[in-house]
Amino acid sequence: MVYHADDMILSPVREILRGPVNDVLVCQDLRSPARACYLLLAVHDRETAKRLLMVLQDSERSSGEEKPFLKMFTENELLCLLFPYRPDRRLDRFAQGQLVTPQSRERVCVNLVMECLSVPLPYPLLYLALEKENVHLLQDDGVYFTYSFDLSRMEESVGEADCTDRCVQILLSLLKKHSRRQLKSFELLRKKSERGAYENLPELYRDIRISALPEHKEPIRERLHGFWQRNRDTFFRILLRISVTAAVLALIILICQLIFGNFPLLRIFQNTFEVIGTENLTMK
């Protein structure tokens, strides 16, 4: 089947989703010399088409003339939305190999929240965009969404708080370390998420920014201070053990001095120095 959108002739080259209410296809524009590719969301269920139009019309995220799609048109009885096409590079598959430092993981978290704030999708569609198959990672740690939506899962009642909560769960999965000592950013997000404190994306953005580790190295004095703050308990425990050991040895020496008049171990060193070579140093 070929789709017509204004001066474009869109020919499907790959099917991404065949769902109960809509399909998602990768199409080429046959009138484009470069054969540019686009993502086409074709809704074949009438009730879903009406619901989608209502969601787009009632969006609280409208910003001027910016739309979440390139074109919206009908083909026979289908409601079609055309989006830019970007190849998949799923975050859940590439994060482990690419994000090897705490700073890189926190940087991606910041970029994900920024993408949520900037993309003009209505919240019911943003919620679908935050599903793992639609969140992708660039090689420079940027984040982008694709629009392979299964609209049978779309809920008109979804709002900013729901999207923020789903975003927090992705961030926590990125920030969690397989050790007892977790990042400050992880602990802050986890505690507030457990209390249900996140109601909007700007608050989440602020928290991840203020709690993230600095991108650049701190001065040596600040790094030494931070090292001392993190390890002072360990140093105090070592110092305490040394002090206890020294006190025990001092007590043993004192008891030996009282019982034997001297410390038997010192006799070894005393006898050693009485004869050096062939000379006897003992006073006669």
Q: How many residues does the chain have?
A: 284
Residue 159 burial (CB < 10 Å; 0-12/13-18/19+)? middle
140 phi, psi to nearest 5 deg: -95, 20
pLDDT, tens digit (0-9, with 9 covering 90-100), for 27-67 = 999 998 999 999 999 999 999 999 999 999 887 665 556 78
Confidence of residue 254 (pLDDT cuts 50, 70, 90): confident
Tell me the residue type at 128: L
Please tell me what DSSP assigns to residue 150: -
Tell me how far apart the alpha carbons of residues 271 and 266 are, in angstroms, rounded to a whole number. 9
| Per-domain boundaries in the chain | 3-84, 91-211, 228-280
Beta-carbon contacts of 272 under 8 Å, excluding residues fewer than 6 positions away, are: none
Helices (H), 8-61: 46-57
Largest CA distance in the chain: 125
Tell me how far apart the alpha carbons of residues 91 and 89 are, in angstroms, rounded to a whole number. 6
Which of the following CATH numbers is that of domain 3-84: 3.40.50.2000, 3.30.200.20, 2.60.40.1120, 2.160.10.10? 3.30.200.20
CATH topology of domain 91-211: Transferase(Phosphotransferase); domain 1 (1.10.510)
Residue 264 predicted with pLDDT over 80: no
- For 228, half-sphere exposure in the C-beta direction (CA atoms, 13 angstrom radius) is 6
pLDDT, tens digit (0-9, with 9 covering 90-100), for 120-151 = 999 999 999 999 999 999 999 999 999 999 99
Average pLDDT of the chain to the nearest whole number: 86
Chain centroid offset of residue 29 CA: 36
| Beta-bridge partner residues of 135 | 145
Helix (H, G, I), strand (E, B) or coil at 19: coil
Tell me how far apart the alpha carbons of residues 275 and 284 are, in angstroms, rounded to a whole number. 13
Global pTM reads: 0.73
pLDDT, tens digit (0-9, with 9 covering 90-100), for 70-109 = 999 999 999 999 999 999 999 999 998 999 899 999 999 9
233 vs 43, which has greater pLDDT? 43
* 91-211 has the same fold as 3-84: no
Beta-carbon contacts of 219 under 8 Å, excluding residues fewer than 6 positions away, are: none
| Beta-bridge partner residues of 83 | 39
Mean pLDDT of 188-197: 93
Confidence of residue 227 (pLDDT cuts 50, 70, 90): low
Rounded to the nearest 10 degrees, how much is the dihedral formed by the CA atoms of 84, 85, 87, 93? 60
- On whether the CB atoms of residues 112 and 185 are closer than 8 A, the answer is no
